[in-house]
Amino acid sequence: MRPSILRRLLRRVASTAALVLVAATLSTVGAARPAAAVGGLQQVTGFGTNPGNLQMYEYAPADLPAGAPLVIALHGCTQTANDYYTNSGWPKYADLWKFAVVFPQTTSANNSLSCFGWFDPAEDTRGKGEAASIVQMVEHAKQSHGSDARRVYVTGLSAGGGMTADLLAAYPDVFAGGSVASGLPAQCATSQAAASGCQTGPQKLTPTQWGDKVRGSYPGYSGPWPRVAIWQGTSDYTVYSANATALRDQWTDVWGIGQTPSSTDALSGNTTRSTYNDASGKPAVQTYSVSGMGHGLAVNPGSGTEQCGTTTAYFLNTICSTYYTGVFWGLDRGTPGGGGQLPAPSGLQVTGVTANSASLSWDTVPGAASYVLYRNGTKVASPTSTTYTDSGLTAGTAYRYAVAAVDASGTAGTTSPQVTATTTGGTPAQCFTATNYAHVTAGRAHTTGGHVYANGSNENMGLYNVFVTHTLKESPAGYFVIADTGCTAQAKS
């Protein structure tokens, strides 16, 4: 055996210890194995020099048009390309929205637990190892399918999520967007010893320091930067939720947009979405915090447009993350960032409420054929006028609304900022002012990774201690939001 090959094999074996935390919880999936072509999943050989020793699998709809987007989907430890193809939901949307999907696969020949080397500079940096092999797959798929080079995206779970962040940092000229599910910030670990520490709580760096890790991955690059979605369960004790915060800090800093969300809304599956808009008002970074979810990819089996995937080990039945990620990227025929060409309607306001309805109005958008109205992040109506009354609501309850214009082709534009309508009647909202420690003790909030989150809204309240104080408003019962201004506390504790 040549010395260079022997050194590579020894390094692969040694690196296994750094992935114990990620791989241990995924071990029930079964031993890693080469994925056979199943159904529409096909193996591709001869895609390049393949310095990272990976395997390439892909799925492409039979009627795929030229100039379609391309998605790269990376599995987690002990998983295979076929596992991700079968359970993630990506083939469903490839058929629906017309794009190709490449499923790279690493095997026990690289790492005994089949983890992508997100912690290894020889594998996850520009021009090196597995990262270089994945980019060769991108180039091969672009040529064979005629994919649009401006619309190439990458997503991954766990170790695949860590590699996704590294790819976005090393190749911002290749990827227009990414989605990191239960993963790690770019270049969080650059050695075997540091990997486990990242998983349980990454370094306490400033947003600028996190951003510098991205900027240092491709020195001299000046943009545009990829648009990044971040998915994290609050009960993930394999890759702790502090990693989602670090990812948010990292990519908002790269975009230069700060860490205060432009909007926050509630989705199904106990999911809170926070959106950070760029200077033009389009989403650049989105975080999806799934309350109570452990380590895995969020799926929601079913036949609905917003449903996808199969529930099995580490594919967890909460919400279809693949759908929301695809919409965020614009794969549903919008533009990257989740919006079409039409601007967001201005002037959205609540014009009246009753015990079971809320009336709204907004300004006309030139070129709009209709509008789409969202309540708590879910589409509820498609009015053709600039007014709408939403009925069938619950008394004494706060609802958040946003609206987008739809052009003649059916493409929705940028979504407006949210407004809140509170129906009359019911039990009046109560406000509570207390320390974070007291809120948790009273059952109004919970802790994850040393931080406190409001029950219901899952808003981040800061560190779990007696020094940070917030006012929480309860409406409806059991649903708390931060209301430090404009809410007089009826009770203090």
Residues that are catalytic? 158
In Å, the largest CA–CA distance within the chain is 79
Using alpha carbons, list the distances in angstroms from residue 476 to 263, 378, 456.
20, 18, 9
If you count DSSP H runs as helices and E runs as strands, how many of each does the chain have, helices first? 12, 26
Q: From its phi and psi, is residue 129 left (phi > 0), alpha (psi between -120 and 50) or beta? A: left
Q: Which helix (H) or strand (E) holds 3?
A: helix 3-15
DSSP states of 138-186 as a string?
HHHHHHHHT--TT-EEEEEETHHHHHHHHHHHH-TTT-SEEEEES---T
SS3 of 102-138: EEEECCCCCCCCCCCCCCCHHHHCCCCHHHHHHHHHH
Rounded (10°) angle between helices 159-170 and 129-145: 80
DSSP states of 246-295 as a string?
HHHHHHHHHHT--SS-SEEEEETTTEEEEEEE-TTSSEEEEEEEETT--S
Kindly report the backbone phi and psi dihedral angles of residue 140, in degrees, each rounded to the nearest multiple of 5, phi listed first.
-65, -45
- Report how far Cα 255 is from the mean position of its chain's Cα atoms: 16
Strand, helix or coil at 382?
coil
Of 325, 315, 273, the C-alpha closest to 295 is 315
Strand, helix or coil at 300?
strand
Tokens of residue 52, six digits: 């990272």
Q: What angle do CA 353, 354, 356 make, to 5 degrees?
A: 115
List the end-to-end C-alpha distance of the chain, in Å, as a whole number. 70
Of 230, 201, 182, the C-alpha closest to 448 is 201
Q: Are 241 and 233 in contact (CB under 8 A)?
A: yes
SS3 of 36-78: CCCCCCEEECCCCCCCCCCEEEEECCCCCCCCCCEEEEECCCC
